[in-house]
Amino acid sequence: MKYISTRGQGEPKDFQGVLLAGLAEDGGLYVPESLPQFSADKISSLKGLPYNELAFEIIKPFVGGTIADDKLQQMINDSYGSFSHKAVAPLQQLDANQWVMELFHGPTLAFKDFALQLLGRLLDHVLTERNEKAVVLGATSGDTGSAAIEGCRHSEHLEIFILHPYQRVSEVQRRQMTTILDKNVHNIAIKGNFDDCQDMVKQCFADQSFLPENTRLVAVNSINWARIMAQIVYYFYAGLNLGTPEQAVSFSVPTGNFGDIFAGYIARGMGLPVDKLIVATNNNDILHRFFQNNDYRKESLHQTLSPSMDIMVSSNFERLLFDMHKRDGASMHELMDKFQKTGTIQVSDTAWQDIKSLFDSCRSDDQQVCETITELNANTAYLADPHTATGIRAVQELDLARETPVVTLATAHPVKFPEAIVKAGLNAPSLPHHMADLHDREERYDILENDLNILKDYIQNT
264 vs 266: CA distance, rounded Å: 5
Catalytic residue among 112, 202, 276, 416: 112
Contact 199, 174 (CB under 8 A): no
Report the SS3 class of residue 415.
Answer: helix
Count of residues for the chain?
A: 462
325 vs 328: CA distance, rounded Å: 6
**Residue 192 DSSP label:** S
49-55 contacts at long range (C-beta below 8 A, 24 or more positions apart): 49/240, 50/88, 51/80, 51/87, 51/88, 51/89, 51/233, 51/237, 52/76, 52/77, 52/79, 52/80, 52/81, 52/88, 54/233, 54/236, 54/237, 54/240, 55/80, 55/230, 55/233
34 vs 146: CA distance, rounded Å: 32
Residues in a beta bridge with 409: 101
Contact 261, 255 (CB under 8 A): yes
CA atoms within 13 A on the CB side of 436: 3
Q: Is 133 a catalytic residue?
A: no
- Angle formed at CA 326 by CA 56 and CA 39, multiple of 5 degrees: 35
Nearest alpha-carbon partner for 35 in 230, 268, 316, 331: 268
Active site positions, annotated: 112
